Amino acid sequence: MKPGRAPPRACPVCGGPVAGRGAPAFPFCSSRCRLVDLGAWLDEAMRIPGTEAAAPPADGTGGVDVPGAGSEG
């Protein structure tokens, strides 16, 4: 490897070689691997760590004030 050049990248899905930044599926090796990765995110197999969101209120309003939905007169 020449000085100043980045090492070859591997596809995060299959480990195959990635063509480079100009490739249409970058940073994946193919459109198939790109879709496999997207599917994993959509199936929630992959997540960004964080705290759990608070559950919405039991009144069914989702925490939004709805006129006339309260127990007022």
Read off φ and ψ for residue 42, nearest 5 degrees: -70, -30
Beta-bridge partner residues of 10: 17
Q: Give CA–CA dist 16/26, Å, rounded.
A: 12
Rg (CA), the chain: 23
pLDDT of residue 70: 58
Per-residue pLDDT reduced to its tens digit, 5-24: 777 889 999 999 998 888 89
pLDDT tier at 1, thresholds 50, 70, 90: low
Which amino acid appears at position 20 of this protein? G
Q: 8-66, pLDDT tens digit by residue?
A: 889 999 999 998 888 899 999 999 999 999 999 999 998 888 887 777 777 766 667 76
Quote the pTM value.
Answer: 0.58
